[in-house]
Amino acid sequence: MSTQQSPHGHGTVAPRGHATGEVAERFENPGLPPHRHRRADSDPDAAKRAERQVAVLFGISILGTIAALWAYFALPLEGTIASVRTSNLVLGVGLALGMTGIGLAAIHWAKTLMSDVERVDERHPIRSDDDVRETAVQMLKDGAADSGIGRRPLLKGALVGAVALAPLPFVVPLVGNLGGSWDVGALKQTAWRAGRRLAIDPTDVPIKASDVTIGSIFSVMPEGLPDEPHYLEEKAKAVVILLRLDPRDLTEAEDRKGWSYEGIIAYSKICTHVGCPVALYEQQTHHLLCPCHQSTFDVADGAKVLFGPAKRPLPQLPITVDDEGYLIAQSDFTEPVGPSFWERLK
Ligand code: FES
């Protein structure tokens, strides 16, 4: 029978049409390499040392998980970017140690303490016959016995502890956020107060009415907010879109007369659909668009919804000017900002 060189240059292959059994016969089964015994197989001290190492790795996992939980519950978030970064860092490192510790412990346990006898299984039909299935079950039982978990209470306890704690960093925040009690009252108030100046976000520079020309738009927040606790949370509620229209274009409801100043109006920047920041302003039409799901608000007419999934207008912040010409709030918003969902949680 003729032969030909493999296209990859490794050995020979049979011409097409020849039985594969003939090909198999051309290769010698290299067999298994000689078995190398590990120290832990014959040295009880080495086995004990390996056991302690595995326990230490499980212990690292436990400490990492506890650190992640501590970061979630106890590390104070002061509303500064630095504190958020620190919290995220500790959470991430804790989770990484929690997961990596279990993985490394399992690998080290398998490599040093579990049986490393080589076994060869011939290929067989996908569904094994009953004898083989019984044998497999027996092998699993043997494997469990071989791991020595029954004889090694230290490892058993460490394994149970690590595996039991590992899901907590994922489960606890979920349960806490879904089932915990929300402070709905806090969502109904923002940092705006009567007389508080409007300042440009993020520079915190107070803004005068004369700075706001017709057609311009600013993102503003209460002056001095960056120096207050929980800055990011407060800003997320209080951020406002400030614009100036020709007063003749403005349609004001009876109960909102006097909420604007010479065509300058302020609306919550938090979309009433699901809370994205609305920021796309079309000067000619006076339309304000939310980029997330295209809700469109008419800023010339109380920010009423013209299009999209939002169900209510953007809340309006009543404003005026102080003696120096700076824009100030007349009060807080008179309704909750953000998604309408909050209105139902009374
Ligand atoms: S969040 Fe604004 S349209 Fe959905």
Residues 171, 269 within the same domain: no
Residues 324, 208 within the same domain: yes
Counting from 1 in the atom list of ligand 1, the atom nearest the Cα of 294 is 3
Are the C-beta atoms of 304 and 312 separated by less than 8 Å? no
Residues 190, 174 within the same domain: no
Residue 98 C-alpha to ligand 1 middle, in angstroms?
Answer: 37
Residue 304 in any domain: the answer is yes
Counting from 1 in the atom list of ligand 1, the atom nearest the Cα of 276 is 1
Residues 265, 206 within the same domain: yes
Residue 277 C-alpha to ligand 1 middle, in angstroms?
Answer: 8
Residues 263, 287 within the same domain: yes
Residue 24 in any domain: the answer is no
pLDDT of residue 341: 63
Residues 144, 215 within the same domain: no
Residue 202 in any domain: the answer is yes
Last residue of a domain, one of 179, 194, 209: 179
Residue 77: pLDDT band with limits 50, 70, 90: confident
Q: Is the pLDDT of residue 92 over 60?
A: yes
Residues 149, 247 within the same domain: no
Residue 112 in any domain: the answer is yes
Neighbouring C-beta atoms of residue 177, cutoff 10 Å: 9
Per-residue pLDDT tens over the stretch 119-169 = 777 776 678 888 989 999 999 888 888 888 878 888 889 999 999 999 988
Q: Which domain holds residue 95?
A: 45-119+127-179
Residue 245 C-alpha to ligand 1 middle, in angstroms?
Answer: 24
Per-residue pLDDT tens over the stretch 12-27 = 444 444 445 555 567 7
CATH of the domain at 250: 2.102.10.10
Residue 178 C-alpha to ligand 1 middle, in angstroms?
Answer: 22
Counting from 1 in the atom list of ligand 1, the atom nearest the Cα of 308 is 3
Residue 37: CA count within 13 A, CB half-sphere: 7
Residue 23 in any domain: the answer is no
pLDDT of residue 344: 52
Residue 12 in any domain: the answer is no
Pocket of ligand 1 (CB under 6 A): 271, 273-276, 290, 292-293, 295, 308-310
Last residue of a domain, one of 179, 197, 212: 179
Residue 340 C-alpha to ligand 1 middle, in angstroms?
Answer: 11
Counting from 1 in the atom list of ligand 1, the atom nearest the Cα of 290 is 2
Residue 325 in any domain: the answer is yes
Q: Is the pLDDT of residue 81 over 80?
A: no
Residues 291, 306 within the same domain: yes
Q: What is the mean pLDDT of residues 110-117?
A: 88
Strands 12-13 and 198-200, by their bridges, are: unpaired
Q: What is the mean pLDDT of residues 269-292?
A: 92
Are the C-beta atoms of 227 and 199 separated by less than 8 Å? no
Q: Is the pLDDT of residue 178 over 80?
A: no
Residue 21 C-alpha to ligand 1 middle, in angstroms?
Answer: 66
Residues 283, 195 within the same domain: yes
Per-residue pLDDT tens over the stretch 179-218 = 555 566 677 789 999 999 999 998 999 999 999 999 889 9
Residue 273 C-alpha to ligand 1 middle, in angstroms?
Answer: 5
Residues 302, 216 within the same domain: yes
Tally of structural domains, the chain? 2
Nearest Cα residue to atom 4 of ligand 1? 293
Neighbouring C-beta atoms of residue 144, cutoff 10 Å: 11
Average pLDDT, the chain: 85
Residue 270 C-alpha to ligand 1 middle, in angstroms?
Answer: 9
Q: Is the pLDDT of residue 5 over 50?
A: no
Are the C-beta atoms of 179 and 210 separated by less than 8 Å? no
Residue 7 in any domain: the answer is no
Per-residue pLDDT tens over the stretch 312-332 = 999 999 999 999 999 999 999
User: Ligand 1 pocket check: which of 272, 287, 293, 342 to mutate, most ligand atoms within 8 Å of Cβ?
Assistant: 293
User: Ligand 1 pocket check: which of 268, 271, 341 to mutate, most ligand atoms within 8 Å of Cβ?
Assistant: 271
Residues 261, 156 within the same domain: no
User: Ligand 1 pocket check: which of 289, 295, 305 to mutate, most ligand atoms within 8 Å of Cβ?
Assistant: 295
User: Ligand 1 pocket check: which of 290, 307, 311, 314 to mutate, most ligand atoms within 8 Å of Cβ?
Assistant: 290
Residues 151, 216 within the same domain: no
Residue 243 C-alpha to ligand 1 middle, in angstroms?
Answer: 20
Residue 341 C-alpha to ligand 1 middle, in angstroms?
Answer: 13
Counting from 1 in the atom list of ligand 1, the atom nearest the Cα of 293 is 3
Provide the whole-model pTM.
0.54
Are the C-beta atoms of 276 and 292 separated by less than 8 Å? yes
Better-scored residue on pLDDT, 151 or 50: 50
Q: Is 95 left (phi over 0), alpha (psi -120 to 50) or beta?
A: alpha
Better-scored residue on pLDDT, 230 or 89: 89
Q: Is the pLDDT of residue 9 over 50?
A: no
> Alpha-carbon distance 154 to 157, whole Å?
5
Per-residue pLDDT tens over the stretch 223-267 = 999 998 888 889 999 999 999 999 999 999 999 999 999 999 999
Closest CA to 266 of 322, 324, 339, 330: 330
